Structure 1
Amino acid sequence: MAVQQRPTWLNQLPSHSIFELDEQEYLEWSRINSRDNTKTSTPSASSLSAPRLGAGQKASFGLEDLQEEYQRANQGLSCMTVHRQDMYVAVGRQIRYANLSDLKSNVENNGCAAAAEYIEGKQHKILKIENIDFDIRRLITNQDGKLLAVVGDEKVVVVVLPKAIRQDAKAVQCRSFVVGEFYHINKGPSKVVKVLWHPLSQGYTHLLVMTHDSTLRMYDVGEDFDEPEQVLSFAGKWQKSSTYGLDVDHAASFCFGSKYSPWGQLAIYCLTQNGDVYMMCPIMPQNCVLKIEDLETIREQVEGKIRQSRTRSKLEDLEQKWLEDLLQSMESHPFSDEVVIVRNPDLRNAKVARQGPFLYQPAPIEPDDDDNRAYDILALETEAVGVLALAYSCGKVDICITVDPPSSRWALLSTATRKSGTYTLDDDDNDGDDDGQSEDEDHLPTLSVYETVDLGILKIFGTTNSSRTGGYSLVESRMSIPNHPVLVADSMYNDIFYIYHDTGAHYVLIKPWLDELTGIYEAASQGVPGLDSRIAKFYNSKTKSTVGCIVTTRPTKTSPPAPIVGFSVVTDAYLEYSLVLLTASLQVIGQELMTRPKATDAAIQSRPAQPSLTGSKDKDKEFYYCALSLPAFGSQDGLVALSGLPLQPKVVLPPGVGSAKIIVTEENLQFLNKVARGVRDSLRDVYTACDVAQQRLVAQEEEYKRQQTEVEKANERIKTSIQKKIQAQVTRQENQAELHKKLMTRVDELLRKLTEARGPELSSAEKAWALEVVKSERVVRTFDERRHKVQTQYEILKRRMQSSLNGNGDEVSGAVIRKQPVAGAGERSTSRSGHQPVVYERQPVRRYGTSQLQTVESALSVEAQLLDTTMKMVSNVTSRLEVVDISKD
């Protein structure tokens, strides 16, 4: 019974609905292909859908339905990009979105049945974008994944991706705007060559667009998407002029420098179609994010360069001013202490100069292709040295080492140029000006061509044509198919990169020689002598890079075209390390990769052999040495090759071709022979690795037996000699454990008390006690009111007693004032109410005796004592209430 393979997100990705077409999408895809590649009319709906939309047929189209129309296509209209867990796929003029984490969670965690049910549903979303009225060639997301650049031949559109794109409906409405519409649309020389987001932009909003006329425009799409923030030209004056009869060298691609170099991250390399490499430095956005240590290195280099100069030139003064303005504009970053925000200084009298062309030393190997053109350039993020990779249409890849590290260079603007408002540089006129305006060809930067890699495409698709003109025979060699290679860096490891093209995809691993060069670099930084001999040995060894094919989509010359149009390296922690490739016929290839061991593990394996176990400390006893050699036994090339990359490439043909009748031709036989030879070589490597592993296994078994014997001897020695010490240690451990247990009990009790003291809720006893306190508070409050009344009465009585004892005033005279009316007083004085005026007469009062006064005094003293007691009780309760604050229910 066959065991069903556990579904993974990579092997289920080709069945995802994002790569399927319904009837309308299928017709649109066919119409665009037919329009771009043939002059036939657009196929009608009846002619295309009749054989596919019969009774009982599905309402969507897969790969097998694309065969007819795809045979007429030379280049697909699909592309793909993956940013973290989000996948964006362009089909014709439509952009689709899918979340790969949802795919993995639904496919791998719920079983095969749930995975099949999930795959059958339509799980992708369509982005509704208004400005997409062109054929999409490339999709590029910025660093934070909020903006998506949609690139066409003459138009660039930036799409603002919504935050809740995963929660939206099937159709997601997105805002978009056209970038540089005046400069790119319907402009022949301004055809878009390459588009990249600047990695040092503060808000990841700076977009760089390279056009066919070697002009690089930098747009800050967060501020203005119509006008560029900076315009840079990599073309010379002769190329800008309207001269005739010259083969104008157009731009092919550009890239940023390495982030491990302070100046390198501010440098931009430009590659022309004839293979020339130019550089401009420093190129930075208006609001740029730089590391503090890189900024300090730049400052030291500029100041050191100025100190070493004997005579200060205008360019050095401008460079000093540029540095001062850069440091003055420095602001702290709101989210990190390691980086700062700086502003690009504006030098009105100078602009960044073009450096180059780079000198190739030695010259690269030229292939037998008269129409060979350069197509892409990539700067690897290597720390020891700068490495540039150049890809050509014939399948050649030049791997170069930057001998001269990137440095800044400016050129002064001429007076006429400044008055006209343009920014043409004078560095191409060799007029010998002392101000640094001219470009000295003796100081051109140098590239050391370390290796030229041949992908083998020219051997398969190369053609030779001979012609005779005027008695001379002319032999012309060229590629029989168009090829547009694209270089992709690995975002996890900096010593490997990939090339995808019209016939498949390859990998190039430079780790074998880069490790040696890194060792030389570290030795140089530590001041180790003998570097010259090590460098000479490195170049004489001629260690080659490891090159392999991942996927081939056109194994023979007669095979139908199936170019790779999308290549993404997935490094998300949840999705794991893997590759995702897309062909123009919407075929997806997933390749799971393996991460490498950490540097600490590799360092442990590379340590020299040391005694691991020792015998007795007696001098007549020898130390125990491990019989196994170091470094430790690791993965073999034949068993685990290149971290999961295949030994033999996967053959992916367009849909329907695999089921066609096989025609035996010489080319097909040669391809089968090549595949069989590769399989035999791989099997030989596997057998060799198995033999090595078997020998290692036997050695490890012997070593294991030796170690068992030594362990038994050590065990006997332990039992006889240090048993008492062990018992004492055991007792001590038990005591410590008991003490630890007691301490943990105390800690738990303290923690419980603290929790109860700080707890937001009270127990029933505490609530009852709180009620009693409230009642007591009410009683105390009643006593307090009574105390005030008694105290008032006491004061009145006390005053009366003092008045009686002193014999003064009205009371002492023995009279009481009494109101009496006075006759005849109405004439003199009357009140407003008409009453008669009154007079007050003294009346005799009754005096108290001594015994009576003593009785009153004793009663008042008792009341005073009672008041003092009550006051003390009130003070006590008040102090207790201040300590414990209890909220009433």
Structure 2
Amino acid sequence: MAQTIPFSLNTLRSHSIFLPTSVSSSSSFANAATDGEWELIDKPTDDLVGQKMGRMVMRDKDLLVAIGREVRMMSLGSGEREWEVKDGKVGTYRNLHSPSLNFAIHHVIPNPTGRLLAVVGHHQIVVLVLPKNSYSVPQSGEVECRAIPIDEFQFSPSSNDIISKVSWHPWGESGNSLWVLTANGNLREYDILQPHDPVQTFNFLPEKSTGAKFTAIDPLSRHATSFAFSKGDVDFSPTMVYVLIANGDLYTMGPILPLHTELPIRYLQGLKAYSEARLAKVQGQARNVFGASGAGLGRAVFQAQWVESLVKQVKSAEEVRSRRDEEVDSPSRRTTHRALLRQGPVVFSPGPQDVGNGDEDEEQVATDLYLSEDGPSDEEAEGSTASEKQRIVAIAWSGGRVDIGLEVEKSEPRWLSSRDTSSASPIIPIVESILLPYPQPEPEAIQSNAPTFHSDPLYNDIFYVQHTFGVDSVNLRPWLTELRKDNSNSDLPVSEVFRLIESGGSPVKPVVGAINFCNITLGYGLAALASTGQLAFVEMDLQVAESTAVLPPPTAQHPAKSTISSDQPDSRSLLLARPLDIDRLIKSILQPSTPFNPFTALKRLPDAGKPSASITPEHLRVLGEISSQVQSRTQAIRSASETIEKRLDLEVQEMQRQIRLLRECQSKIQALKRHEAITRAERLLENQDRLATRLDDVLRDMAEGSRPEIGSSERKWFEELERLEIRIRGGGGVVSKGKALATKAQVLREQLAALRPILAEQQREEELASTTAPATTMSQHQYGSKQLKPLEAALGVRSQELRRLIHRMETLDMRVDAAGGANGAAYDD
């Protein structure tokens, strides 16, 4: 059993499609070149501008890679769950073979329909007719493809014309309109049905002088490097073509459309209304002001005539198609219009900053041009005054500089005529000049560097720059968002620049291809291919828009709406109550209730292995059984698909509900921030703090200035206290009022202390006498009591006086203590 590995982005890097060409293939190419033709060497002038590379591209779910002189294709469909590892190689691929692919491939470019692939070299172009589907061709080996060489007389190995850029026009009939820009400034259109000669040619550079004389003209000013079709919805913008020169000059010309074009009818209707309205406006201005808008009037007349002729061609083609006299699919614009005017060079005001990597003395080369339109959606534009979309113009330089500007005044078609004599050049202000960080390579690496642009599949304000040293992401959203604000007077923020992929090592492995993808198989990300066949990728996150990009604008809540919504099931409860059983769905498809084996049913026929000349009822019965099995299998797949779709609808509803809640919270927060009550509360708090400070100051001043007066009752009380103090302490002031009560009490205490031992001795003697001689004691006691009666009376009186004095002393002490505390508090006050 062969070893397999699961399909993923990580394992994609190990796929055999990225392996370099084998030695045998190289030797065969060398022998073919030796036997059949001479191998030509690039001329020295070819090194004036670095060669741009784009050797990897995606067509739907197919990946196409150019390795050397081979074009390889593999499928990335969801059906290939795993890859087989055989002989040290992971997976298989198809080699699209053609004898015309006998040159080094620099670019591969699919057309809008995905049926054709332009294979571009330094001097040659070949268009391959791709297989209809990747699963309709063998999984490995060579696949013979039909090749259509483009203008072999003009583009050959010995040609002097260097191919600068090749692109398919999005409005070409059946995707057959191929546009080729050469270094001499000629832009040619080729119809794949007539590939030998160009059907249209436009020159964006003046003819060279044939005289043999010295000239001071910059060679870079004679070398066209890139072109781009303009963007737009209503005006003449989609009919304009921009061409970039190596020295940074930018020219524009229009109206330019494919000779056989498929115009969107909506755009044609809008263009007709726009040209008529503009002509009426210019005519009104010319009548109101004498001699005003003369040149503008002639230009508007020419534009209206051109649109009218285009509308007539479309109508005639529709009439012919309705009569079916001849097959005409699209208008063929074979008109004898005036020669178009080449407008430019564009004036950059303010100009870009002169910054770059490498040697300062080495002049940079403008290598690629990028045009895009970004603005609010139709829903967002309804509630905003700044609803016009901005035209973004970006120019990449070999030194790593990227100039980003806005086309404020859009270019419009002009013809060579005396009625349109205005010579003003278009003006594009440069908003920002970005310097991409390069390592410190050799000067030759900078000179051969040719950055190219790649647009993002989801966002118009994001683009990628592929160069020799990696791939960078440039996000213009910060300053575009600030620019759309109605009252924005602050400085614009800078763009966000991130290095997504970097080619490390020494020597540098240049990046020769990059693709950005957004599909259900690979997700959302970017991959880059190095010249050594190494693949690097990065997965990116989707941006969550702050505006209502997912939901419609909020409307007023009506009772009827709430009633209708209450009858609908809640997406939250359905998500929780009905979990999605993936295993059951897969089992219902892979293991249906009725067996699915049409080969077994066919084998039941008596002549299954023989060719049959007639159809019998047995054949019909077996075919009916097989048809029933196929229908049952189809119904199971359809049922599983409906289940998945319903689940997806529920998840979308839940996401919308959550976004709606978040938006309501955001609006409530904004309303709270704007509410006047918060401002008033803040003012009240500030006033309260000020009042509290003032009250503290007032209380402090009152305490310092307060002098309380003593009333009559308080004065009498203090006098009484003074008298008590004099009586207790013995006089006060100058007059002495006799011995103090405290001295008297002390004398009495001393006398009492002297008498107590005497009385105690007498009491002991009496007790002793009573115990020894009771009778004698009785007689003595009766006799002694009469004699001692006066003494006892005197002692009793003295004892009562002492108790009274002691009690009075204690009372006075308590009053003195109380009076002393009150007096001290009064003095403290």
**What TM-score results when the alignment is normalised by the length of structure 2?**
0.55
How far apart, CA to CA, are the structure 1 residues paired with 2:251 and 2:468? 27
Residue number among 286, 292, 314 corresponding to 1:330 in the alignment: 314
Secondary structure, aligned partner of 2:519: coil
Deviations 1:12-31 (A, max 9, x none): 11111212257435645997
Preserved CA contact (<8 Å) 2:234 2:274: no
Preserved CA contact (<8 Å) 1:17 1:119: no
Q: Which amino acid aligns with 2:541?
A: M
Distance 1:495 1:31, change over 3 A: farther
2:498 counterpart of 1:548:
yes
How far apart, CA to CA, are the structure 2 residues paired with 1:239 and 1:41? 28
Distance 1:194 1:548, change over 3 A: same
Secondary structure, aligned partner of 1:330: helix
Residue number among 532, 536, 542 corresponding to 1:595 in the alignment: 542
Q: Which residue of 2 aligns with 1:387?
A: 392
What are the equivalent positions in structure 2 for 1:577-616 lying under 5 Å apart?
577-597=524-544
How far apart, CA to CA, are the structure 2 residues paired with 1:346 and 1:233? 19
What are the equivalent positions in structure 2 for 1:677-696 lying under 5 Å apart?
none
Residue number among 485, 488, 499 corresponding to 2:451 in the alignment: 485
What are the equivalent positions in structure 2 for 1:359-508 lying under 5 Å apart?
359-367=347-355, 369=360, 370-383=362-375, 384-412=389-417, 434-436=418-420, 440-441=422-423, 443-457=424-438, 460-461=440-441, 481-508=447-474
2:86 counterpart of 1:106:
no
Deviations 1:699-751 (A, max 9, x none): x9xx9xxxxxxxxxxxxxxxxxxxxxxxxxxxxxxxxxxxxxxxxxxxxxxxx
Residue number among 150, 173, 176 corresponding to 2:119 in the alignment: 150
How far apart, CA to CA, are the structure 1 residues paired with 2:131 and 2:550? 46
Secondary structure, aligned partner of 1:11: helix
What are the equivalent positions in structure 2 for 1:743-758 lying under 5 Å apart?
none
Alignment length (residue pairs): 500
2:196 counterpart of 1:230:
no
2:68 counterpart of 1:92:
yes
Secondary structure, aligned partner of 1:180: coil
Q: Which residue of 1 aligns with 2:508?
A: 561
**What TM-score results when the alignment is normalised by the length of structure 1?**
0.51
Residue 184 of structure 1 and its aligned partner are, at CA, apart by: 2.3
How far apart, CA to CA, are the structure 1 residues paired with 2:159 and 2:22? 35
Distance 1:392 1:91, change over 3 A: same
Residue 302 of structure 1 and its aligned partner are, at CA, apart by: 2.3
How far apart, CA to CA, are the structure 1 residues paired with 2:509 and 2:202? 36
How far apart, CA to CA, are the structure 1 residues paired with 2:394 and 2:178? 23
Residue number among 178, 183, 192 corresponding to 2:154 in the alignment: 183
Preserved CA contact (<8 Å) 1:189 1:211: no
Q: Percent sequence identity over matched residues?
A: 27
Distance 1:30 1:509, change over 3 A: farther
Preserved CA contact (<8 Å) 1:80 1:139: yes
Preserved CA contact (<8 Å) 1:216 1:233: yes
Preserved CA contact (<8 Å) 2:6 2:81: no
Q: Which residue of 2 aligns with 1:24?
A: 23
Preserved CA contact (<8 Å) 2:231 2:373: yes
Q: Which amino acid aligns with 2:434?
A: V
Q: Which residue of 2 aligns with 1:219?
A: 190
Residue 570 of structure 1 and its aligned partner are, at CA, apart by: 1.3
Residue 510 of structure 1 and its aligned partner are, at CA, apart by: 0.7
Deviations 1:806-856 (A, max 9, x none): xxxxxxxxxxxxxxxxxxxxxxxxxxxxxxxxxxxxxxxxxxxxxxxxxxx
**5+ residue gaps, structure 2:** 42-49, 287-293, 320-327, 376-388, 558-661, 666-829
Deviations 1:484-522 (A, max 9, x none): 1111111221111111111111110111122233x34xx
Q: Which amino acid aligns with 1:12?
A: T
Residue 263 of structure 1 and its aligned partner are, at CA, apart by: 2.0
Distance 1:349 1:127, change over 3 A: closer
Residue 561 of structure 1 and its aligned partner are, at CA, apart by: 2.4
Distance 1:25 1:516, change over 3 A: farther
Distance 1:343 1:167, change over 3 A: closer
Distance 1:411 1:118, change over 3 A: farther
Q: Which residue of 2 aligns with 1:171?
A: 142
Secondary structure, aligned partner of 1:571: strand
Indicate the larger mover: 576-585 or 255-264.
Answer: 255-264
Q: Which amino acid aligns with 1:291?
A: P
Preserved CA contact (<8 Å) 1:378 1:388: yes
Residue number among 215, 221, 229 corresponding to 1:256 in the alignment: 229
Residue number among 331, 345, 348 corresponding to 1:357 in the alignment: 345
Q: CA RMSD in A?
A: 3.9
Distance 1:325 1:605, change over 3 A: closer
2:256 counterpart of 1:283:
yes
Q: Which residue of 2 aligns with 1:831?
A: none
How far apart, CA to CA, are the structure 2 residues paired with 1:333 and 1:586? 51
Deviations 1:632-653 (A, max 9, x none): xxxxxxxxxxxxxxxxxxxxxx
Secondary structure, aligned partner of 2:374: coil
How far apart, CA to CA, are the structure 2 residues paired with 1:349 and 1:41? 42
Distance 1:16 1:461, change over 3 A: closer
Q: Which residue of 1 aligns with 2:378?
A: none
Residue 573 of structure 1 and its aligned partner are, at CA, apart by: 3.0
Q: Which amino acid aligns with 1:231?
A: T
How far apart, CA to CA, are the structure 1 residues paired with 2:119 and 2:40? 28
Residue 77 of structure 1 and its aligned partner are, at CA, apart by: 8.8
Preserved CA contact (<8 Å) 1:85 1:575: no
Distance 1:238 1:186, change over 3 A: same
What are the equivalent positions in structure 2 for 1:504-543 lying under 5 Å apart?
504-517=470-483, 519-520=484-485, 531=486, 533-534=487-488, 537=489, 540-543=490-493
How far apart, CA to CA, are the structure 2 residues paired with 1:542 and 1:29? 58
Preserved CA contact (<8 Å) 1:255 1:269: yes
Q: Which amino acid aligns with 1:447?
A: I
How far apart, CA to CA, are the structure 1 residues paired with 2:211 and 2:152? 24
Deviations 1:775-798 (A, max 9, x none): xxxxxxxxxxxxxxxxxxxxxxxx
Distance 1:125 1:28, change over 3 A: same
Preserved CA contact (<8 Å) 1:192 1:210: yes
Residue 165 of structure 1 and its aligned partner are, at CA, apart by: 4.4
Deviations 1:12-63 (A, max 9, x none): 111112122574356459979x99xxxx999xxxxxxxxxxxxxxxxxxxxx
Deviations 1:606-650 (A, max 9, x none): 99xx9xxxxxxxxxxxxxxxxxxxxxxxxxxxxxxxxxxxxxxxx
Distance 1:240 1:600, change over 3 A: farther
How far apart, CA to CA, are the structure 2 residues paired with 1:498 and 1:492? 13
What are the equivalent positions in structure 2 for 1:716-735 lying under 5 Å apart?
none
Secondary structure, aligned partner of 1:181: coil
Distance 1:15 1:554, change over 3 A: closer
How far apart, CA to CA, are the structure 2 residues paired with 1:586 and 1:261? 44
Residue 560 of structure 1 and its aligned partner are, at CA, apart by: 0.7
How far apart, CA to CA, are the structure 1 residues paired with 2:133 and 2:119? 20
How far apart, CA to CA, are the structure 2 residues paired with 1:151 and 1:157? 7
Residue 372 of structure 1 and its aligned partner are, at CA, apart by: 0.6
Preserved CA contact (<8 Å) 2:14 2:90: no
Which of the two has higher C-alpha Rg?
2
Q: Which amino acid aligns with 2:331?
A: R
